[in-house]
């Protein structure tokens, strides 16, 4: 290990020869024992691979909102384990944010990389360049859920729980919301979550989600800030998959 990470390990954490760590590299995690420490270089002897739990990949489709809060949401979504984040320019995304979003992609990737290291992930999530909503609707996923303030009958936890037990959720936003009556299928292997901007998704956008086969779900009776909705949606999903 070299550079800033090595300096932090050597000077701040005061690493010593013989200490063991889990080393994430090339998509794998292995045990590593320190064999040499210098100010800007730490050498390890790599041991056996550490088996990690298999997780359902989550793609987060999130409308761009105020950048400081959006960056916080990227950081927390990374810590919670999302596989990919797709920033979306929505109807209610403020115009100056929409115009500047494309210049922020690299910064968001750096934030995700740092959050990935802090949370001991094997690799950071993929951060896509901002796109318009129509471009994001066709994302490949076994289950696609849009979090909507207007949804009053179906809770996100019920949709996710149903997908994991092999009971399929309704496929239309206005479908009867009784999971138990929609039949059974194989447990979902991947999930896409869509979270809107401040003010929520516009009505015509929800119709686009419906046409593309997304399921509508509620995060609860209160109105959440956009960044809070991101954390709540991802947390519920990861806990139930």
- pLDDT band of 241, cuts 50, 70, 90: confident
Share of the chain above pLDDT 90, in %: 68
Answer whether 228's CB lies under 8 Å from 69's CB: no
Residue-level pLDDT at 167: 52
1-15: buried (b, 16+ CB within 10 Å) or exposed (e) per residue? beeeebbebbeeeeb
Read off the DSSP letter of residue 182.
S
Min mean pLDDT across 41-45, 47-51, 104-108, 218-222 is at 47-51
CA–CA–CA angle 22, 59, 153 (5° rounding): 125
Contact predicate 236/193, CB 8 Å: no
With cut-offs at 50, 70 and 90, classify the pLDDT of residue 228: very high
Q: Taking 60 as the threshold, does the pLDDT of residue 79 lie above it? A: yes
DSSP lists the bridge partners of residue 24 as 29
Largest Cα–Cα separation, the chain = 64
From residue 198, give the alpha-carbon distance in Å to each of 23, 65, 161, 162, 187: 39, 7, 27, 29, 32
Cα distance between residue 215 and residue 158, in whole Å: 12
Which residue(s) pair with 195 in the sheet?
62
**125, two tokens:** 């999530």
> For 20-34, 175-189, 207-221, which range has the lowest pLDDT when averaged over its residues?
175-189
Q: Would you state the pLDDT for residue 182?
A: 41
Lowest mean pLDDT across 174-178, 181-185, 223-227, 231-235: 174-178
Question: Six-digit token pair at 90?
Answer: 């929505």
Q: List, in sequence order, every beta strand (DSSP E) within the chain.
A: 20-25, 28-38, 41-49, 58-63, 84-89, 126-127, 131-132, 143-147, 191-195, 215-217
Highest CATH level, class, for 58-240? alpha beta
Question: Any idea which fold 3-49 has?
Answer: Ribosomal Protein L25; Chain P (2.40.240)
Specify whether the CB–CB gap between 160 and 58 falls below 8 A.
no
What is the distance between the alpha carbons of residues 77 and 43, in angstroms, rounded to a whole number?
31
Q: Other CB atoms closer than 10 Å to residue 197's CB: what's the count?
A: 25
DSSP state of 2: B
**Beta strand 143-147 pairing with 215-217:** parallel
For residue 49, count CB atoms less than 10 angstroms from its CB and return exposed for 0-12, middle for 13-18, buried for 19 or more. Answer: exposed
For the chain, the structural domain boundaries read 3-49, 58-240
pTM, rounded to two decimals: 0.81
pLDDT band at 187 (very low <50, low <70, confident <90, very high): low
H or E segment and range at residue 127:
strand 126-127
Same topology for domains 3-49 and 58-240, yes or no? no
Q: Is the pLDDT of residue 115 over 50?
A: yes
CA–CA separation, 58 vs 83, rounded Å?
A: 5
Tracing tokens 């979504």 back to the chain, one arrives at 77
């Amino acid at each position: 290990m070299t550079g800033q990470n090595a300096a932090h390990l050597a000077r701040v954490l005061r690493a010593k020869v013989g200490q063991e760590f889990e080393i994430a590299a090339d998509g794998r995690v292995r045990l590593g024992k320190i064999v040499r420490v210098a100010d800007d270089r730490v050498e390890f002897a790599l041991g056996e691979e550490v088996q990690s739990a298999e997780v359902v990949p989550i793609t987060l489709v999130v409308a761009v909102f105020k950048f400081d809060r959006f960056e916080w949401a990227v950081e927390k979504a990374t810590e919670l384990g999302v596989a990919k984040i797709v920033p979306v320019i929505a109807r209610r995304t403020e115009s100056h944010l929409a115009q500047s979003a494309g210049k922020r992609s690299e910064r968001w990737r750096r934030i995700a990389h740092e959050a990935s290291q802090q949370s001991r992930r094997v690799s950071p999530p993929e951060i896509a360049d901002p796109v318009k909503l129509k471009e994001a609707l066709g994302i490949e996923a076994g289950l696609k859920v849009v979090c909507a303030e207007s949804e009053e009958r179906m809770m996100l936890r019920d949709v996710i729980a149903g997908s994991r037990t092999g009971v399929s959720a309704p496929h239309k936003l206005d479908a009867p919301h009784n999971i138990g009556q929609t039949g059974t299928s194989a447990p979902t292997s991947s999930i896409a979550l869509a979270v809107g901007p401040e003010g929520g998704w516009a009505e015509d956008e929800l119709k686009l989600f419906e046409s593309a086969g997304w399921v509508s779900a509620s995060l609860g009776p209160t109105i959440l800030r956009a960044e809070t909705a991101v954390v709540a949606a991802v947390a519920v999903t990861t806990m139930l998959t």
